Structure 1
């Protein structure tokens, strides 16, 4: 078995993933096309909703000396009647004159003074009164009109002329709306509309009336110039009514676009773990980081192409050179989408480690994608109230970050400049401090976090197969300083010395033979049940050692411990000099395994399986093809060369699994009941294959068939109830116990 460097293993996995993907053409087509199809909905809307060129917009003068607009809105909208009175505090003759003059100018029903602001505020809350005017409490003893005039106007916190389902407020902490589009706000409203509506709410007329009353009384003049309100004119522009709707729609459409690809990713990775394929590849020398890197590249290619198709669709120009994203630079938008793809892939990897069954994973992934989108749906309506820190933390959730990102991208689009490299780290207005650049950085940060969680969970929860590590393994010296090998077979060429209670049942160990596997007092318990009890045995090169016993004797458990699928409760085994408890990866470097059930990729052909495992074990060039042809001929499957494994019969799958363990000149091969379920002719063919391939290998085979042990076993070890009862050649055991060895 030749050493295979990491680059070659990586290329091999890419090849395997590509073949599997290509053999699932419909899945590949859907993964590539669905994002584009969902995005086409936005393109269709863009084609149906036209952006309108607008000429210079001028607005008329508005009289602010009366409450006509306020009264008309109350009457037109059938809103609750308002007591047309002014309240003020504190009570003072000078202030009384000012409020009286203001109330008369507004044609109000009256006014009322209060000794302090608290009493006035209670009256405003208890009664639906127009407004209150609060002066300084120190003015209660004022004798003359002040030279500096200041006051506070008290209106209800909610807008009274709003008919929105949600109560609109004055938004006094903001200079701009959270999302705005190019053009004047509420273009068809001469006063600017809602929010905030200082004229239609009556605020501006009350302020104007109080100020004018003060100036008249202070100067004793009535010919003060009139004051009008007029909106600023707006230059020529393109009015796009679609933008604000897209800001809410795009995040959801992008979410829907990637649910199916995410489901396929998680399902495929979980299926490899469920079918023991991942663990078998690890047993045969595949590092975990190479496994994840190859999957990442495969996923990034497909999702990256899908993301690029979305970018192209968003930049398709229609009439008047208008696209869904007219102003946004395509390159920065593409990088944003690819950043989201990276985060999504790592999120899928994290999910895959948390499931043991592919069917469960595929059923739940879509729901989880919606759940991680919920924070954005909730935060969207409260976006203006969130601090920068809160937005950054929420952006660690992949789909929430995506939602925020598209909201800001549409904000830049609404400003008429679009997202550019120059404004990547600039907010859309002065009221906001969040940027698309921050979101992309948080996406990359979350990708790293997801990947760390993935690698951690993989170690402590490897599923139904594999050796789980303790939860605190990253904090141990062994994790950082490496693992030491047990003293290898070079120090004990004849294997470990074994003391037996019943030595007569055990043949003397052969001398001069190289020991490939040394099992030392191996134990395994499952709760109160002792599955393997102190197993000690040496297995030699060029020999087939058979573990013989009935079902439940502990044979499969022994194989599982030797391969690292189960951790031993105590004891250990030395495989080619590497201890399975301290250097499992080293032990696996020289190991091939055929588990009790078939471990095959459903969509790889027979030849592809042999090519894959031969390359994984170090064969190159023509040697691979020779190896493939050799084993196809030996198991008589030449006519099934290009048939997917899922279409083979049970016996054919079993023979292929055996060949996958043998190919590539593997030095240590473990077979767990390899002939189970096979007809007599196929079993005989399999026996001939094993006999022909044992030279230069240490082979361990488990079976409960006496004839199979007799034909294949150079040494036979008989287990019963987890204990080794006897061990030796077939001749020795027959001579010692007769034909009833079991």
Structure 2
């Protein structure tokens, strides 16, 4: 639009239009308003007769006899059918019948028939009467189904006062002019036929300046081009001829001053702005400006669910409606920027509209376009739990310190920045306090999640593998922090690190095959499921098989409760049960005495670990559930037998395609059986949409009769007062101006002001026109 600014924007003075004659005769069909070379507003296009090319769709029926001889057919229907009305309609027929229309143009003032050359135009008029309006409407409806090249111009219906043959009172006469239900000459920008709108008295000005400024007759809805004005004037004169009992002709009309001269009302000075072009695209831009916001809102909601941030905050004590309200108000505040921008633009387009009304309207539109269903609930209780899930539920656009502050207030706890800094220092995250969460490494994100669970002094802490993804150094830092914090909190955490469970857990629960197998302190579980103390003997590399057997015999003689666990290379491992703890000194002394004889280089002892306890509990659970451990040798034997099997002949060609198709069908059927609801939606919804489209296509609204528009000679009433300011030429001019305007609008002119002492009658029209632009008056007589 900026590129069109220099071409579109302009300042214009008072717009005056030329006048033209309305005769109420056949001349009106070809006379052009204003200048004769303006072929735009004629009822029948003059180029049809000057070029000899008949249009494909003409308002009336035109018959071409030769290159310069044409006949125009005009037909009127009327009701009711009696003597008086027949005489009036014969006068109508006489007015629209002409054997040589061009020759008779010499009787019309300011019209030169020589511009038509040797053109011959004959006009043939036909009037048909009906006994009732209902029969007339039926014939009109059938005839007007053909809009093009139809000689029928209008139907005329007289009121009940004209049912009698003898008419005496002119004031009681009323009539209806029934044109086609749609305009036959005027098209919109898409060249589609538009109906008459008799409910709207004045057109809406979408742009500055006069409406349809290129049309001398006022343009849309086309009272002149559709033939309404000439028919109305012809009826008026025909009724007058009936009461005066004269036969009207062109000469008598001119001599008696019955030729009407019309002129479009002048328009005051105006300026055109490029912003007016935006009005055409405003509804589309208005709708799409909020559609993009909806896309981003949906993306944010989906991303939050994907990161499981919503569930994380619900554990902290937040209710669902608070989360939805945050989405709503957060995005609505962003939309207020768009709302404010549109309001400013609309203010310059609609200068007479209150800015507050525009703002409220646009805000309500944005509200409804992005409305979320909010469930009203009670306020969330104070959060007493801290939660660190297995996944990192972090907002990448927030910093580390903002995370701690946000979740601390989410728990309804007092924000203490000293506490936050201490937590970060304990985990060596103080240097990342102002960094965005999206820039942290995996281990640092786990540290931040752990800090979020601990911030605010939550009494209950739930940790799901809090140290997963951390390096050994960071893991030990987390252990130190948890050991310090568990004094004043209740901490429940899950882990796969048995060392972590042994170090931090006061009570340890072991799950296997989805079931809780045991629960107790570390010492209790080791005593219950442990193998006691494990002793590892390192043998001399030169030791033989016999030396190992001698060593086993020696150990069993020391205690019959010693169990040999494994012999791997030069290492022999055996276990001593806890109840043999009193014999440890004796066993180790004997080992030292026989160390050289038994070829033992060194030996060490260790207690049972939690890993051993876990493995033993897992084996017990598998044995109880019927899970059998298969030996590797058995697996290798089975594989060898499979290799010895004969080769299988594979399908190919058509059989392969049939087999694959059958497999796909079976797969789909099994899927449909498992996802029955989804399949029903996929099948039923398209069928319902198709049925809806078919139903919509068959329920287009039919053509409806327009509301009658009554035309009378009453003053146009308005509640808007008009203030007319004129310059004073003499003491009589203000009274003259007041009487001129009040003659047509006696209720609108409230004040005449003296603003200067200089005025000429020449600019009187301009002043009245400028000051009366908001007052709807019928005419100003000077």
1:407-418 to 2 correspondences below 5 Å = none
Match of 2:662 in 1: none
Which residue does the alignment assign to 2:312? 280
Q: Distance in 1 between matches of 2:166 and 2:410?
A: 99
Q: Which residue of 1 aligns with 2:192?
A: 166
Match of 1:133 in 2: 156
Correspondence 1:214 to 2:214:
no
What is the CA distance between 1:592 and its match in structure 2?
A: 0.3
Equivalent-residue separation in structure 1 for 2:17 and 2:497 (angstroms): 97
8 Å contact from structure 1 (residues 307, 334) kept in 2? no
- Cα deviation code 1:340-383 (max 9, x no counterpart): 34653675462xxxxxxxxxxxxxxxxxxxxxxxxxxxxxxxxx
8 A Cα contact 1:606 1:641, kept in partner = yes
State the match for 1:652 in structure 2.
444
Task: Measure the CA separation in 2 of the matches of 1:135 and 1:343.
Answer: 49
How far has the Cα of 1:143 moved from its partner?
Answer: 5.6
Distance 2:240 2:360 in 1: 63
Pair 1:74-2:90 in alignment: no
Per-residue CA shift, 1:416-463, capped at 9, x if unaligned? xxxxxxxxxxxxxxxxxxxxxxxxxxxxxxxxxxxxx2x23xxxxxxx
SS of 1:160 mapped into structure 2: strand
Match of 1:381 in 2: none
Counterpart mapping for 1:464-543 below 5 A: none
CA distance in 1, matches of 2:511, 2:313: 28
Shift of 1:674: 1.9
Offset, 1:229: 4.4
Kept in 2: contact 1:299–1:345 (CA 8 A):
no
> Displacement of 1:238 after TM fit?
0.6
Query: Which structure 2 residues correspond to residues 98-247 of structure 1 after superposition, within 5 A?
Result: 98-107=88-97, 108-127=124-143, 128=150, 129-135=152-158, 142=165, 148-164=172-188, 165-195=191-221, 197-221=222-246, 225-231=257-263, 233-240=265-272, 245-247=277-279
Distance 1:238 1:337 in 2: 27
- Tell me if the contact between 2:346 and 2:358 (Cα under 8 Å) persists in the aligned partners: no
Q: What residue number does 2:458 align with?
A: 666
Asked whether the equivalents of residues 22 and 233 of structure 2 are also in contact (C-alpha less than 8 Å), the reply is no
2:208 and 2:28 map into 1 onto residues whose CA distance is: 27
* Partner Cα distance (1:302, 1:293) in 2: 14
d(CA) in 1 for partners of 2:357, 2:326: 21
Assess if the C-alpha contact under 8 Å between 2:517 and 2:617 holds in 1: no
| Equivalent of residue 76 in structure 2, options 78, 81, 86 | 86
> C-alpha displacement at 1:104, in angstroms?
0.6
Superimposed CA distance per residue, residues 543-596 of structure 1 (whole angstroms, 9 cap, x where no aligned partner): xxxxxxxxxxxxxxxxxxxxxxxxxxxxxxxxxxxxxxxx9x54x611000011
Q: Residues 661-719 of structure 1, C-alpha deviation per residue, up to 9 Å, x if partnerless?
A: 01221100001122334444443333232222111111111234433322222112233
What is the 5 A alignment of 1:385-396?
none
Instruction: Select the residue among 57, 73, 76 that pairs with 2:16.
Output: 57
Q: Could you say which residue in structure 2 is the equivalent of 1:250? A: 282
State the alpha-carbon separation in 2 of the partners of residues 124 and 301 from structure 1: 59
Determine the C-alpha separation between the residues in 2 that align with 1:335 and 1:144.
56
> How has the CA–CA distance of structure 1 residues 50 and 737 changed in structure 2, closer, same or farther, with 3 Å as cutoff?
same
1:120 CA drift (Å): 3.6
In 2, Cα distance between the equivalents of 1:615 and 1:294?
14
Checking the alignment, whether the CA contact within 8 Å between 1:275 and 1:599 is kept in structure 2 is yes
Please say if residues 26 and 95 of structure 2, whose CA atoms lie closer than 8 Å, have aligned partners that are also in contact: no
Partners of 1:342 and 1:230 in 2: how far apart?
47
In structure 2, relative to structure 1, the CA distance for the partners of 1:238 and 1:172 (3 Å cut) is same
The 1:60/1:144 distance shift into structure 2, 3 A limit, reads closer
For 1:614 and 1:150, how far apart are their aligned partners in 2?
Answer: 83
Contact 1:116 1:137 in 2 (8 A): no
Q: 1:46 to 1:294 in 2, by over 3 A?
A: farther
Q: Quick one: structure 1 residues 144 and 268, their matched pair in 2 at CA, closer, same or farther if it must change by over 3 Å? A: closer
Which structure 2 residues correspond to residues 704-723 of structure 1 after superposition, within 5 A? Answer: 704-720=496-512, 722-723=514-515
> How far does residue 220 in structure 1 lie from its aligned partner after superposition?
1.8
Tell me, yes or no, if the aligned pair for 1:183 and 1:234 is still in contact at 8 Å.
no
Give the equivalent residue in structure 2 for 1:408.
none
Instruction: Give the distance between the partners of 2:327 and 2:4, measured in 1 at CA.
Output: 36
Contact 1:92/1:140, CA 8 A, preserved across alignment: yes
Contact 2:216 2:264 in 1 (8 A): no
In 1, distance between residues paired with 2:488 and 2:291?
Answer: 50
Cα deviation, residue 186, structure 1: 2.6
Unpaired runs of 5+ in structure 1?
1-40, 316-323, 351-452, 457-473, 483-582
Find the aligned partners of 1:307 and 1:96 in 2 and give their Cα distance: 64
Measure, in 1, the Cα distance between the counterparts of 2:142 and 2:277.
Answer: 39
Q: In the alignment, what sits opposite 1:13?
A: none
Counterparts of 2:470 and 2:240 in 1: how far apart (Å)? 108
Q: 1:600 aligns with which of 394, 402, 406?
A: 394
Matched residue, 1:741: 617
User: What is the alpha-carbon distance in structure 1 between the residues aligned to residue 310 and residue 182 of structure 2?
Assistant: 61
Are 2:290 and 2:369, in contact at CA under 8 Å, matched by a contact in 1?
Answer: no
Aligned length: 460
Secondary structure class of the residue paired with 2:284: helix
- Which consecutive residues of structure 2, in runs of 5 or more, have no partner in the other structure? 31-41, 49-54, 62-72, 98-123, 144-149, 531-612, 619-782
Change beyond 3 A, Cα 1:169–1:243: farther
Structure 1's 159 and 304: CA in aligned 2 closer, same or farther, altered over 3 A?
Answer: closer
Which residue of the partner structure matches residue 697 of structure 1? 489
Matched, 1:629 2:421: yes
Cα distance between partner residues in 1 of 2:275 and 2:179: 33
Q: Which has the larger radius of gyration?
A: 2
State how far apart, in whole Å, the 2-side matches of 1:326 and 1:135 are: 44
What is the aligned partner in structure 2 of residue 7 from structure 1?
none
Native 8 Å contact 1:87 1:112 kept in 2: yes
CA contact (8 A) 1:50 1:240 kept: yes
* Match among 334, 340, 349 for residue 362 of structure 2: 340
User: Match of 1:731?
Assistant: 523
For the Cα contact (< 8 Å) 1:714–1:730, is it kept in 2? Answer: yes
Deviations 1:43-72 (A, max 9, x none): 666565214222152541432422444454
Contact 1:715 1:728 in 2 (8 A): yes
Please state how far the C-alpha of 1:156 moved relative to its aligned partner.
1.4
SS at match of 2:234: helix
Aligned counterparts of 1:657 and 1:595: Cα–Cα separation in 2: 8
Q: CA RMSD in A?
A: 3.6
Q: How many angstroms apart in 2 are the aligned matches of 1:144 and 1:53?
A: 52
Distance 1:246 1:346, change over 3 A: closer
Contact 1:285–1:617 under 8 Å retained in 2: yes
From 384, 391, 394, the equivalent of 1:590 is 384
Give the 3 Å change call, closer, same or farther, for CA 142–307 of structure 1 in structure 2.
Answer: closer
Change in CA separation of 1:338 and 1:208 when aligned onto 2, cut-off 3 Å: closer
Distance 1:194 1:658, change over 3 A: same
